[in-house]
């Protein structure tokens, strides 16, 4: 459990009743985004309150009426997912900025300008989000927010999500070491070890990280690797 000093109130009002629990806002956000988090790692107390500031506990009668159970973990999860998380202004600002950075990074790595076939730099995406007056909810799942942001950006930026397929050949001297990093950084479609010890593969990456991909191949092979673009989806 977290300390009371770190906790904020999560509140749900239903059927004329109010229910409050004390939660870690970051952990509560992870629950809202679908992560499996132990509820005892999220809360500061294993009680459901009618008014947390006065430490007035909710009655069993009211819990059964609204939640049809008195199980704390089940009730707490529902309050976190369906209720309101009351953050301080500093907490909301920090969490919103962190989520905004995640959105920008995701878009810059996975989307390109279809006219140039190149990724948009993060700063350009950030400026377009400001122009489009995009609002970020620190509690919404990243995937959901990215969809809304892309929709808002399309009138301002030519942008689309794309993947690129490459054929790669790694010389024998570098193949054993390069294999692990390339296979963990890409989606391998085919691979084959050659008689001379070299390794070849067909792999897919998000189109936005193609420069990063080239740099990785050059680093792993000291510039001796071969890369050929097969297609863009």
**d(Cα 41, Cα 211) in Å, to the nearest integer?**
40
End-of-domain residue from the set 126, 160, 194: 160
Residue 170 has pLDDT above 90, yes or no: yes
Q: What percent of the chain has pLDDT over 70?
A: 100
Give Cα separations from 129 to 74, 103, 110, 132, 141 (angstroms): 38, 10, 16, 5, 18
End-of-domain residue from the set 31, 51, 86: 86
End-of-domain residue from the set 28, 54, 86: 86
* Torsional class of 199: left (φ above 0), alpha (ψ -120 to 50), beta (otherwise): beta
Q: Do 74 and 11 have their domain in common?
A: yes
Average pLDDT over residues 87-106: 91
Per-residue pLDDT band at 117 (split at 50, 70, 90): confident
- What are the phi and psi torsion angles at 105 (to 5°)? -65, -45
Find out whether 156 and 129 touch, Cβ atoms under 8 Å: no
Q: Do 146 and 203 have their domain in common?
A: no
* Torsional class of 222: left (φ above 0), alpha (ψ -120 to 50), beta (otherwise): left
Average pLDDT over residues 46-65: 92
Residue 232 has pLDDT above 80, yes or no: no
Residue 110 has pLDDT above 80, yes or no: yes
CATH of the domain at 24: 3.30.1250.10
Q: Do 14 and 67 have their domain in common?
A: yes
Q: How big is the chain, counted in residues?
A: 233
* Torsional class of 55: left (φ above 0), alpha (ψ -120 to 50), beta (otherwise): left
**d(Cα 9, Cα 232) in Å, to the nearest integer?**
48
Q: Do 151 and 200 have their domain in common?
A: no
How many domains is the chain built from?
3
Average pLDDT over residues 120-140: 94
Find out whether 37 and 19 touch, Cβ atoms under 8 Å: no
Average pLDDT over residues 168-192: 95
**d(Cα 191, Cα 22) in Å, to the nearest integer?**
52
* DSSP 8-class letter at 21: E
Higher pLDDT, 91 or 192: 192
Find out whether 95 and 29 touch, Cβ atoms under 8 Å: yes
Residue 102 has pLDDT above 80, yes or no: yes
> Which residue(s) pair with 228 in the sheet?
167
Q: Do 155 and 196 have their domain in common?
A: no
Find out whether 120 and 107 touch, Cβ atoms under 8 Å: yes
Q: Do 82 and 94 have their domain in common?
A: no
What is the enclosing helix (H) or strand (E) of 227? Answer: strand 226-232
CATH of the domain at 201: 3.30.70.240
Average pLDDT over residues 31-48: 91
Q: Do 99 and 70 have their domain in common?
A: no
Residue 90 has pLDDT above 90, yes or no: no
Q: Do 136 and 71 have their domain in common?
A: no
The confidence score (pLDDT) of residue 6 equals 82
Q: Do 129 and 150 have their domain in common?
A: yes
Higher pLDDT, 73 or 88: 73
CATH of the domain at 146: 1.10.10.900
Q: Do 11 and 63 have their domain in common?
A: yes
Q: Which domain holds residue 127?
A: 89-160
Average pLDDT over residues 51-79: 93
Q: Do 101 and 149 have their domain in common?
A: yes
CA angle 212, 219, 225 (to 5 degrees): 95
Q: Do 10 and 82 have their domain in common?
A: yes
pLDDT, the chain, mean: 93
Classified as helix, coil or strand, 147 is helix
Is the entire prediction scored with pTM above 0.75?
A: no
Helix axes 142-153, 89-110, angle to 10 degrees: 70
Average pLDDT over residues 22-48: 91
Residue 233 has pLDDT above 80, yes or no: no
Residue 16 has pLDDT above 80, yes or no: yes
């Amino acid at each position: 459990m977290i300390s009371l000093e770190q906790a904020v109130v999560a509140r749900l009002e239903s059927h004329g009743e109010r229910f409050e629990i004390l939660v870690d806002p970051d952990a509560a956000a992870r629950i809202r985004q679908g992560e499996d988090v132990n509820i005892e790692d999220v809360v500061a107390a294993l009680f459901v309150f009618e008014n947390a500031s006065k430490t007035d506990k909710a009655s069993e009668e009211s819990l059964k009426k609204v939640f049809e159970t008195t199980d704390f973990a089940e009730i707490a999860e529902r309050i976190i997912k369906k209720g309101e998380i009351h953050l301080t202004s500093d907490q909301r600002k920090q969490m919103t900025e962190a989520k905004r950075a995640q959105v920008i990074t995701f878009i810059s790595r996975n989307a390109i300008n279809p006219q140039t076939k190149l990724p948009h730099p993060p700063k350009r995406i950030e400026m377009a989000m400001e122009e489009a007056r995009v609002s970020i909810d620190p509690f919404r799942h990243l995937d959901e927010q990215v969809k809304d942001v892309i929709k808002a950006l399309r009138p301002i930026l030519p942008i689309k999500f794309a993947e690129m397929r490459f054929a790669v050949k790694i010389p024998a001297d570098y193949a054993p070491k390069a294999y692990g990093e390339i296979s963990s950084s890409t989606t391998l479609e085919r691979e084959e070890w050659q008689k001379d010890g070299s390794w070849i593969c067909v792999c897919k990456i998000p189109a936005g990280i193609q420069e990063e991909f080239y740099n990785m191949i050059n680093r792993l092979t000291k510039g001796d690797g071969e890369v050929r673009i097969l297609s863009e989806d």
